[in-house]
Amino acid sequence: EIVLTQSPGTLSLSPGERAALSCRASQSLSSSSLAWYQQKPGQAPRLLIYGASSRATGIPDRFSGSGSGTDFTLTISRLEPEDFAVYYCQQFGRSYTFGQGTKLEIK
């Protein structure tokens, strides 16, 4: 099973700042096999990024994804108040797995 490790566990930033969230895989992944989600309290997750770097429908361009192999990054260029949430990466290899999540909180 491919394990995804996200860091940091919690990230404290202010609106307007730039956020960089990391997702590291225990084995090399195809870039097409990595997605990112946002989850707010009491809500279902929302797809942000698929294929490591492609934004899903309706996702603002301040969200971007990058990376390859075992190291992937979700970047939010200028944090808006509504961006403070928990973020998960997910891989679609032989069996699907999620990272443990990064909580992005207001500083």
Query: Could you list the residues that contact another protein (CB under 8 A)?
Result: 1, 30, 32-33, 35, 37, 39, 44-47, 49-51, 54, 56-57, 86, 88, 90, 92, 95-101
CB of 92 to another protein, least distance (A): 5
**Closer residue to another protein (CB): 33 or 77:** 33
**One-letter amino acid identity for 72?**
F
**Closer residue to another protein (CB): 35 or 104:** 35
CB of 32 to another protein, least distance (A): 4
Mention every residue, 6+ apart, whose C-beta is less than 8 A from residue 75.
18, 19, 20, 21, 63, 64, 65, 66
CB of 15 to another protein, least distance (A): 25
**Closer residue to another protein (CB): 53 or 84:** 53
Q: Return the DSSP state at 79.
A: -
Taking CA 45 as the corner, what is the angle to CA 15 and CA 80, rounded to the nearest 5 degrees? Answer: 10
